[in-house]
Amino acid sequence: MSEKTPDDEYKTYADFIDVIRRRRSVRQFEKGRTVSPDVLIKIAEAGRWAPSGANVQPWDFIIVEESEMRNKVVEVFIQQANRLKEYAKGFPSVYKSYLANTVAIFIVLGDPRWKINFPHGVTQESEADYLRNNENIFYCSIGAAIQNMQLAITALGLTSAWLSGGGEEQTNSDLSKLLGYPSFLRAYGTIPVGYPSKDAAYRYRRPLGQVIHWNRYEPQKYRTDEQVDYYREKLRPFAMYRHEEDLNEWEDADEKLGKWKAAFTTGVTNPSEKM
């Protein structure tokens, strides 16, 4: 077996981070495209290799690629988006008819029964604590599978989005009736897959120096409550949909970011270090 050199390792990392950076939530697909089942199987295979708590693999993937069934799934999500507009006012949403142009839609189901395999306490108090963490383990496991699939989709030259609306009560109930799964399973992730009809190479990311804390939590990087509120009130739709990684590149950066410009673009969010 040939030995890998450090240069080979960097090459592997360069390819890997390229896929990670290019994975994008795209909500516009080219019409009329198709892919072979083999491509769809490769995506599922990436999901299958995700880590999960106690290796329970609490997921199933429904691959909807038949156009008739896909259109029915699209209808469920159009209704889901309408409810979002009515009941979650202010949340930026996109009309879901774009889903009709997908080559397939992956529905990622989570099976909560498998949580029994996660740690459980022997006292009431410890059980309450473990139960809370069981939830974290469950959702993180499903998230890992979805992320693996999104990365595989990018590596295969396609693009996708990550829709969470299937986890809502009414939407999951509609999907379970349509697709025939027991309604105690839940569609935590819906991944529309297609060929992008627009370039969405970049998206806002916090500067690396703001995210990393070396050896201990660095209080100058604490994000204040005001910043959380400011994001919700002023920045959210732009940070979600605009195509710049660095907010300094926004033409209207000064106006949009106001007094929080440094907090959103540098390594220091909290110069006073008060938490």
Ligand X SMILES: Cc1cc2nc3c(=O)[nH]c(=O)nc-3n(C[C@H](O)[C@H](O)[C@H](O)COP(=O)(O)O)c2cc1C
What's the closest the beta carbon of residue 126 comes to ligand X, in angstroms?
A: 29
Least distance between ligand X and beta carbon 24 (Å)? 4
Taking the complex as a whole, the smallest distance from the CB of residue 95 to ligand X amounts, in Å, to 11
- Of how many residues is the chain composed? 275
**Residue 64 CB coordination number (10 Å):** 24
Site string for ligand X, 196-215 (x = CB under 6 A): -------x------------
Confirm or reject binding of residue 76 to ligand X (CB under 6 A).
no
Asked whether the beta carbons of 44 and 193 are under 8 A apart, the reply is no
Interacting span for ligand X (CB under 6 A) from 97-105, 109-117, 161-169, 212-220: 161-169
Question: What residues contact 180, with CB distance under 8 A and at least 6 apart?
Answer: none
| Distance in Å, CB of 237 to ligand X, minimum | 10
Least Å distance between CB 103 and ligand X?
18
DSSP letter at 54 equals G
Verify binding: residue 47, ligand X, rule CB under 6 A. no
Binders in 82-121 for ligand X, by CB under 6 A? 94
d(CA 79, CA 93): 12
User: How many residues of this chain bind ligand X (CB under 6 A)?
Assistant: 11
First-to-last CA distance in the chain? 53
- Residue 231: exposure state from Cβ atoms within 10 A (0-12, 13-18, ≥19): middle
The CA distance from 156 to 38, in Å, is: 11
136 binds ligand X (CB under 6 A): no
Q: How far is the CB of 71 from ligand X (least distance, A)?
A: 19
β-sheet bridge partners, residue 105: 64, 192
Out of 46, 109, 142, 161, the only residue in the binding site for ligand X (CB under 6 A) is 161
Among 58, 165, 192, 194, binds ligand X (CB under 6 A): 165
**Spatial distance between the Cα atoms of 197 and 159, rounded to a whole number of angstroms:** 10
Which of 57, 79, 162, 246 binds ligand X (CB under 6 A)? It is: 162
| Pairing state between β 104-110 and 59-64 | antiparallel
- When asked if residue 133 is in the footprint of ligand X (CB under 6 A), the reply is no
CA dist 146 and 160 (Å) reads 11
Interacting residue ranges for ligand X, rule: CB under 6 A: 24-25, 27, 94, 161-165, 203, 240
